[in-house]
Structure 1
Amino acid sequence: MPPVAAAPRVSRRAWVTRGHLTAAALLTLAFVSPVYLTLVNAFKTQDQIIRDPAAPPAPPTTHNLTDALARPDRIVQIGLTNSVVTVVVSVLLVIPLGSALGFWLTRRSARLRRIVLAGFAAGLMIPPAVVLLPTIRILAFLHLDHTYPGLILANAGGGYLSFAVFVYSGFLRSVPGEIVEAATVDGAGPLRVWWTIVMPLLRPATATVAIFLSLWIWNDFMNPQFILGPLHGQTITTGIYLSVGQFSTDYAQLFGVMLLAAVVPVAGYLALQKQFIAGLTSGATK
């Protein structure tokens, strides 16, 4: 009996592969197009942007960047400074808290660990807008509303801390328990074990937490807008919002501000890229 031809199945697989490639290309284009538009329009004049936003700059100009830096309200300089300070202090608070809680959970029973992680999971699942008003009322009770310490404390809790605890807890599963037990036998207390032994082992996870939290806090608009208020000060995201005019907008200068706002997070990611990838892949087989 002659064998059955497998041509239809091969043809079907080819169409499925082409469909996957087309979907992946369209999805990539959707993510890359905003970056492309920001890059090309940051070096074009207002007329060129209005005429064809997607066209490359011909000829390119750097007046948008210099005009953004020369604004009399110093919105770029003030916004970048406030964003850097807010991100650095918030991350420096979340990292030790998250790593200490993750290390503490590894020393507890499985039942207690599941209960605590379920509570932190709620911090990841509840939308930030739902808890914004209670957060503002708590900060007002503490006389920290419309202040940068209040904004930093709001960043140090909620979903940011929950994310750090989950990352550290997952990473600590790949750390041999014999290391901690040996340090305990040598007389080291829990605080010393955490700081001198556990924290150096958590560098890849710390890089992952630092990059994710820095990007989230840097791009956050809602907390700075409502906790600080538009009249007290601004981060770079609220500064971009203030650059949009009510009746007319200088798009050339706006794209210049947006490009300058993206320089710092991109540079930070490139500096921690190796540690970031190691933190994502570590413990994957556990």
Structure 2
Amino acid sequence: MTTVAPSGGTRERTSLAAGIGAVPPERAGARPTGRPRRFGGRFRILVAAAVTLVFVAPIYLMLVNAFKSQDDILANPITPPWPPTLENVTQALTRPDNLIPLGLRNSLIVAVVSVALLVPLGSAFSFYISRRRGRTKAAILVAFAAGLMIPPQVTLLPTIKILTWIGLDHTYPGLILSNLGGGYLSFAVFVYVGFMRSVPDEIIQAARLDGASGLRVWWQIVMPLVRPATATVVIFLTLWIWNDFLNPLFILGPLQGQTITTGLYLTIGQYSVDYGQLFGIMFLAGILPVLGYLTVQKQFVAGLTSGASK
């Protein structure tokens, strides 16, 4: 005799079959809701925006106030210039003491001559170091690392003493000579050494077999291969030398119009400040570095991103 199962058994079999493909409760509970990720992404965006604002705010204030009158700057330095005026820039360029034209000219000469000497010195020395092995190379790199770590204020007084001893104090050749040592040369050496290590030895050995001297190999073969490194070194060193304040102030002495940074310092009065002219001078001082960066920006970006795809 056949017995018919109760309807409750059918429910059990149905629930058992459905439970075979069901997701375990612990896995189902681990399903992301998306809220923590959204909160973390928004927090990072806010932090990035705050950091960007810190760096952009001084540039914004300089740009908007360079084309505003003194009264408008004192009333509200944040608002854009309306109507804009070129009076600040014109007054800065037509000062009776020629402070700004002389400062721009002297800063340009000092920066160009210093970098023009630092690039071949740093690259040639780096080429020599990159082809050496052993403890001698490590000792030389440690010495250059000390040049980067020691603050320039510590070596300023000994540098002035040496320049006085050789008769180059209060001179532009003395200022250029002081730029050839210390952290500037160390930075150039470390950048070039990292790039020259990637130059294959086969290329250098083939050039030597063809009769090329070491000087020719360095200048005609290695230097074209490390062109991004040269652009990186040129941009950084030019900006650092252009913005240098202590060396021109103490090495050259109280000479008006010596460099653009010390010229900017001389425009600040003891009891009153012409902010319009001050921002105009700051605007003029920032034009040349920006134009120089735009000229070699492709090589500069290539130098920073080299090796990222290796």
Q: Normalised by the shorter chain, which TM-score bucket? A: over 0.9
Aligned residue for 2:29, secondary structure, equals coil
Q: Structure 2 vs 1, CA of residues 232 and 63 (structure 1 numbering), >3 Å: closer, same or farther?
A: closer
- Counterpart CA distance in 1 for 2:301 and 2:29 is 47
- Counterpart CA distance in 1 for 2:101 and 2:70 is 23
- Counterpart CA distance in 1 for 2:220 and 2:214 is 10
In structure 2, give the amino acid aligned to 1:39. L
Partner residue, 1:165: 189
- Counterpart CA distance in 2 for 1:7 and 1:108 is 55
Of 93-102 and 200-209, deviating more is 200-209
Give a deviation string over 1:121-175, Cα, whole Å, max 9, x none.
1001111101111111111111111110010011111000000000000011221
User: What is the correspondence of 1:231-242 to structure 2 with a 5 Å cutoff?
Assistant: 231=255, 234-242=258-266
- Counterpart CA distance in 2 for 1:122 and 1:233 is 33
Partner residue, 1:105: 129
CA contact (8 A) 1:99 1:164 kept: yes
Compute the TM-score of the two structures, normalised by the length of structure 1: 0.96
Partner residue, 1:116: 140
Aligned residue for 1:230, secondary structure, equals coil
Whether 1:6 aligns to 2:31 is: yes
Whether 1:187 aligns to 2:187 is: no
Identity, % of aligned pairs? Answer: 63
CA contact (8 A) 1:103 1:169 kept: yes
- Counterpart CA distance in 1 for 2:217 and 2:32 is 63
- Counterpart CA distance in 2 for 1:285 and 1:144 is 48
Give a deviation string over 1:72-111, Cα, whole Å, max 9, x none.
0111100000000000000011000100011001111143
In structure 2, give the amino acid aligned to 1:146. H
CA contact (8 A) 1:86 1:152 kept: yes
Shift of 1:280: 1.4
- Counterpart CA distance in 1 for 2:256 and 2:279 is 24
- Counterpart CA distance in 1 for 2:159 and 2:308 is 36
Partner residue, 1:209: 233
CA contact (8 A) 2:99 2:256 kept: no
Compute the TM-score of the two structures, normalised by the length of structure 2: 0.89
Whether 1:61 aligns to 2:85 is: yes
Partner residue, 2:254: 230
Aligned residue for 2:170, secondary structure, equals coil
Of 50-59 and 196-205, deviating more is 196-205
The number of residue pairs the alignment matches comes to 285
Give a deviation string over 1:46-75, Cα, whole Å, max 9, x none.
000000000001111011111111100111
CA contact (8 A) 1:174 1:283 kept: no
- Counterpart CA distance in 1 for 2:39 and 2:134 is 47
- Counterpart CA distance in 2 for 1:178 and 1:79 is 48
Structure 1 stretches of 5 or more lacking a match? none
Aligned residue for 2:77, secondary structure, equals coil
CA contact (8 A) 2:104 2:285 kept: yes
